[in-house]
Amino acid sequence: MTGMSGRLAKALSDVREFADGEYIVRDGALGEEMFVIQSGGVRISKRMDGKVVDLGDLGRGQFFGEMSLLESLPRDADARAIGPTKLLVLGPGALLLRIRQDPSFALEMLHQLSARTRRLNDRLAVALEGSSLEVE
């Protein structure tokens, strides 16, 4: 990044490191930042009916935490580091600057969100198969 907007985006974003198994975010916590995985991995999980259910593992180049950032709602799941993990942390201002500087970043986010939605739709269809529930 160069120039004034590059320095501003760098000031608005941060890189944080986490040890294996360390919580990055907790379900229900407030947060106004999203994370892009620079190295390592992240396991997303949620406690349901007294059990921890793994929702997925993410790797380099993938992101999480965008729902709390975009909707200003509490976190919807836990996120823990898989191995030593380095994350780029983006708050609202840094995300907007990143998108302005690199529109392909927004396109990549949309691509990943679309793929997540497709996987969730497939899982929902399997879960509802044979059920009498109707989904509109």
CB burial readout 11-39, b (16+ within 10 A) else e:
ebbeeeebeeeeebbeeeeebebbbbbee
CATH homologous superfamily, domain 3-101: Jelly Rolls (2.60.120.10)
Confidence at 133, pLDDT banded by 50, 70, 90: low
Largest CA distance in the chain: 59
Question: pLDDT (tens digit, 9 = 90+) per residue, 88-124?
Answer: 999 988 899 989 999 999 999 999 999 999 998 998 8
Question: pLDDT (tens digit, 9 = 90+) per residue, 58-81?
Answer: 999 999 999 999 898 999 999 999
d(CA 60, CA 38): 5
